[in-house]
């Protein structure tokens, strides 16, 4: 499943600090030895101050060659189309979180069209080189879809991985499966040669609040999240993380497992 990054896409809307997103995109492109391309959509912010040699100025300032492409359509749909057409390894996105309605939607509906991982920064998030990548695992088997993506970027950034077991109860299948997946996540990272630590959180009904509080003990980090509509990171919880995080989120779009073992370890 190992895949070498060849192209990193990025874009931002008009509500975020573009410099935070640009720094993230440049760092990711450099670390993965990939080309960098800005995707201009109907809702994207302007790259540069307008006029002049935008590409030349970008290379002079950041030391990275840049391409710019335009895709019609709304922000998230255009980015998903660009990612598919250009076979992107990652899309770095800076935007306000999409709002969820009574029937769902929100951020889950935006990211599930992607087949690659997304590094997401909301309007409050600050770019930071990840000394640690937090990998929370819940009690659903799909949570293990994050294993490869976390290991890939942890290797590139020489980051530690903190495996975090989440559960709502300390009894029954909830506690059992959380413990099993936490062990599997730890073993997977160790086998990949990544420095790994593990924390099994106390049971709580407010998983997101507990997780965000725990994240405060790490100075420079990303957190991996799965856009699954089931388990701990169901639509409302995933939405809340996207809205409240003040650091980059490594989003792994959820996809239905195919065949035995397709969902994880």
Over the stretch 198-221, which tens digit does the pLDDT of each residue have? 999 999 888 899 999 999 999 999
Residue 14 has pLDDT above 50, yes or no: yes
Give the contacts of 133 (CB within 8 A, at least 6 positions apart). 150, 153, 154, 157, 159, 160, 161, 162, 221, 222, 223, 224, 250
Among residues 68, 96, 124, the one where a domain terminates is 96
Residue 226 lies in a domain: yes
What whole-number distance in Å separates Cα of residue 122 and Cα of residue 92? 11
Confidence check: pLDDT of 82 > 80: yes
Residue 152 resides in a domain: yes
Measured in degrees and rounded to the nearest 5, phi and psi for residue 197 equal -130, 160
Q: What is the pLDDT of residues 226-263, one digit of tens each?
A: 986 554 444 468 889 999 999 999 999 987 665 434 33
90 and 140 part of one domain:
no
Q: Are 112 and 227 in contact (CB under 8 A)?
A: yes
In a domain, 259, yes or no: no
For residue range 84-143, list pLDDT tens digits in order: 999 999 999 999 999 987 666 789 999 999 999 999 999 999 999 999 999 999 888 888
* pTM for the structure as a whole: 0.91
Total domains present in the chain: 2
What are the backbone angles phi and psi of residue 181, rounded to the nearest 5°? -70, -30
End-to-end CA distance of the chain: 12
C-alpha torsion angle, residues 70, 74, 75, 77 (rounded to 10): -90
Residue 248: give its domain's CATH number.
Answer: 3.40.50.620
φ/ψ of residue 34, rounded to 5: -115, 160
pLDDT of 58 > 80? The answer is yes
Do 77 and 148 share a domain, yes or no? no
Structural domain range at position 39: 7-96
Which of 5-19, 68-82, 95-109, 182-196 bottoms out in mean pLDDT, i.e. has the lowest? 95-109
Indicate whether 264 belongs to any domain: no
Residue entry with tokens 């920064």: 121
Domain C-terminal end among 52, 68, 96: 96
- Domain finish residue from 45, 68, 96: 96
Per-residue pLDDT, 255: 73
Token pair belonging to 74: 């709304």
- The confidence score (pLDDT) of residue 242 equals 94
């Amino acid at each position: 499943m190992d895949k070498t990054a060849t192209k990193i896409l990025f874009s931002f809307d008009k509500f975020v600090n573009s410099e935070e997103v640009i720094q993230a995109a440049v760092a990711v492109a450099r670390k993965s030895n990939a080309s960098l391309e800005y995707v201009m959509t109907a809702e994207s912010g302007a790259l540069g101050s307008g006029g002049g040699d935008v590409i030349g100025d970008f290379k002079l300032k950041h030391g990275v060659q840049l391409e710019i492409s335009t895709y019609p359509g709304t922000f998230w749909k255009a980015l998903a189309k660009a990612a598919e057409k250009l076979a992107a390894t990652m899309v770095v996105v800076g935007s306000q979180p999409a709002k969820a309605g009574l029937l769902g939607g929100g951020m889950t509906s935006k990211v599930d069209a992607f087949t690659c991982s997304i590094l997401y920064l909301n309007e409050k998030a600050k770019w930071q080189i990840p000394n640690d990548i937090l990998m929370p695992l819940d009690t659903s088997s799909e949570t293990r879809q994050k294993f490869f993506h976390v290991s890939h970027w942890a290797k590139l950034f020489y980051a530690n991985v903190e495996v975090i077991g989440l559960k709502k109860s300390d009894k029954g299948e909830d506690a059992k499966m959380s413990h099993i997946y936490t062990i599997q996540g730890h073993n997977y990272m160790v086998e990949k040669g990544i420095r790994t630590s593990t924390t099994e959180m106390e049971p709580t009904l407010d998983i997101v609040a507990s997780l965000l509080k725990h994240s405060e003990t790490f100075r420079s980090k990303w957190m991996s999240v799965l856009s699954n509509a089931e388990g701990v990171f169901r639509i409302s919880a995933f939405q809340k993380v996207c809205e409240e995080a003040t650091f980059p989120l490594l989003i792994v779009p959820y996809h239905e497992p195919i065949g035995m073992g397709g969902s994880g370890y």
